[in-house]
Amino acid sequence: MVKFPTSPVNCGFAGRVPGYIPGMTTHRFLANQLWLDFVNTEPVMDGVRVDLLPGSADVVGWLGEAGALGADEVRRALTRAAGRPAGEAMLREAHRLRGRLRAGAERLAAGRSPGRALVDAVNRVLASRPAVSRLVARGDRYVRVMEPVRPSALHLLVPIAESAAWLLEHGDPALVRRCGGPDCVLFFYDISKNHSRRWCSMDACGGRAKAGAYYRRLHPPAG
């Protein structure tokens, strides 16, 4: 995110009010990786870091918008989390994981290893979901599905951890980038042609950089 005092727009997040409303899309997914999009839910708006996921319902809603949870799973998760200790525990774990992932993304974007803290955080979430295989009817046929042995505050975060694990195992960590905009804190996985992407979004940081360059060409410094 970029601080632009003269503009109300901040990388596509301006005017967003935290709070999940089923069926309404309130987040932008720009990073090409679920875990980086999760990191990006704590942008900077007008120079202030803003948490777009301040409540357990916000986390569940974000997972639904991201496609990590189906509609039925979202409804069940919202029911379990609403005003209960389980929801508060899940929120604490989500914020903790996001912090570890952000630190790892910073390291990767700087050309360093992801760090032990990121790996440990991912493994902690992955280990929270022991599952068993069950045979269930789907129409006129049967399929095997994996179901958790017991619920946990970390279960809903497994898709995020799996996304980070996939990148470290199969992807190219060198393609994790931080937006080139001044003061921007958004990350993305660069899958562009020639790996030349610089901005979180061309209609935000990229567009402003382009407009600024155009203005400077029209109005070069005197002397």
CA distance 187 to 176: 7
Say what the pLDDT of residue 133 is: 87
What pLDDT was estimated at residue 28? Answer: 83
Retrieve residue 115's tokens. Answer: 């760090």
pLDDT, position 27 = 83
Q: What pLDDT does residue 123 have?
A: 96
Domain 34-218 sits in CATH 3.30.420.10: no
Structural domain spans, the chain: 34-218
Confidence (pTM): 0.77
DSSP label at residue 222: P
pLDDT digit string (tens) for the chain, length 223 residues: 322 222 222 344 433 434 444 444 578 898 999 999 999 999 988 888 899 999 999 999 999 999 998 888 899 889 888 778 889 999 999 999 999 999 999 999 999 999 999 999 999 999 887 778 889 998 999 999 877 777 677 889 999 999 999 999 999 999 999 997 777 889 999 998 888 788 886 465 745 545 444 334 555 666 5
| CA-atom Rg of the chain in angstroms | 20
Contact assessment for residue 98 and residue 41, using Cβ atoms and an 8 Å cutoff: yes
